[in-house]
Amino acid sequence: MSQRVFRFAPSPNGALHLGHAYSALRNYELAQECGGVMLLRMEDIDTVRCTPQFEQRIVEDLHWLGITWPEPVRRQSDHFEDYRNALARLQEMGLVYPAFLTRRQIRDKVNETDKKWPRDPDGAPHYPGDERLLPERKRLELISSGLPFAWRLDMQKACAIAGSALTWRESGNGPDGQTGLIDAEPERWGDVILARKDTPTSYHLSVVIDDALQEISDVVRGHDLFHATSVHRLLQRLLNLPEPNYRHHRLLTDESGRKLSKSSGDTAIGALRERGLTAENVIQKCKTGARI
Ligand code: GLU
């Protein structure tokens, strides 16, 4: 059997906190247990918020924790061409369309139409525009008018093409304890964004392309991304990409029970180090889920 490949994939738009350390350590440990390898991937498609300085700090924090990985590290911003090609395939299949409503227009439209408008698992309203119905000529006209837009997946059509029995194997669990063979429910997300006029990709698209290109066998990440796996399985099916094993893990919380965020500075690994904690202390806190 070939070697199993795990990955830790932070976005360098802030400092790593205890929750990230937990995820990185889980990946690293699981890889070591099975004689596999853990890759580091920088998910920096947001070239405004992601910086080389944050990237450098992430590398330092992970090394301080004793985590190592093979070089070179894949940096998503170096590979926009790969995502552009994948988007082009979905365009050829007639599965994406340019959507022109701004965030504000989406909110207003949803408010004025119906209070029970469907929402995705993260709470955002499904896209209420109807550009998916526009004839090609009109789409091109709008694109050339220079208006900003996002490439959205026509979810209904995509699900129809993907067919039924879209599942994944969950070795961890979801936020509600889901485990084992999970039915993917991508339709819960509505017409997700796959790229923008100025950024040729989105989190969903780049993550599935990279997991395939890097031959990731095991995706280990937090509960917050459990439902996103439905979209990832759909894109894998549409683009003919292999299916990794998935393992979602609990999220560490702060004293008030809230998920740690990049703004909760006191749980940043660097801040803990400055407070005199050793790497061993931090690893122990991750293991026990101790609140800081
Ligand atoms: N880049 C994502 C994050 O920092 C993680 C993506 C993933 O593990 O699939 O939350």
Residue pLDDT, tens place only, 83-92 = 999 999 999 9
**Element spanning 150, H or E:** strand 150-153
User: Can you tell me the distance from the alpha carbon of 129 to that of 101, in angstroms, rounded to the nearest whole number?
Assistant: 7
Rounded to the nearest angstrom, the distance between the alpha carbon of 46 and the centre of ligand 1 is 13
Task: Identify the pLDDT of residue 164.
Answer: 84
Task: Identify the pLDDT of residue 47.
Answer: 93
Residues 25 and 152 in one domain: no
User: Can you tell me the distance from the alpha carbon of 40 to that of 89, in angstroms, rounded to the nearest whole number?
Assistant: 27
Taking 50 as the pLDDT cut, the residues of the chain under it are none
Q: Which residues pair with 75 in a beta bridge?
A: 42
Domain that includes residue 146, residue range: 79-215+223-248
Domain count, the chain: 2
Residues 114 and 235 in one domain: yes
Residues 185 and 271 in one domain: no
Tokens read off for 151 = 């490439």
**Best CA proximity match to 54, nearest among 216, 287, 269:** 269
Residues 132 and 267 in one domain: no
What's the CATH number where 25 sits?
3.40.50.620
* Protein residue with least CA distance to atom 4, ligand 1: 10
Dihedral sign computed on CA atoms, order 136, 138, 144, 148: negative
Residues 107 and 145 in one domain: yes
User: Can you tell me the distance from the alpha carbon of 227 to that of 25, in angstroms, rounded to the nearest whole number?
Assistant: 22
Residues 204 and 83 in one domain: yes
Task: Identify the pLDDT of residue 113.
Answer: 83
Rounded to the nearest angstrom, the distance between the alpha carbon of 112 and the centre of ligand 1 is 34
- Ligand 1 nearest-atom number relative to CA 20: 4
Q: What is the pLDDT of residues 175-219, one digit of tens each?
A: 999 999 999 999 999 999 999 988 999 999 999 999 999 999 999
Rounded to the nearest angstrom, the distance between the alpha carbon of 41 and the centre of ligand 1 is 9
Task: Identify the pLDDT of residue 264.
Answer: 63
Residues 140 and 237 in one domain: yes
Residues 70 and 90 in one domain: no
Residues 3 and 98 in one domain: no
Task: Identify the pLDDT of residue 287.
Answer: 84
Distances (CA, A) of 127 to 101, 130, 190: 9, 8, 7
> Which residue has 């365009």 as its token pair?
91
- Ligand 1 nearest-atom number relative to CA 224: 10
Task: Identify the pLDDT of residue 193.
Answer: 98
Rounded to the nearest angstrom, the distance between the alpha carbon of 51 and the centre of ligand 1 is 16
Residues 112 and 242 in one domain: yes
Phi and psi at 251, nearest 5°, equal -105, 140
Residues 72 and 206 in one domain: no
Residues 257 and 278 in one domain: yes
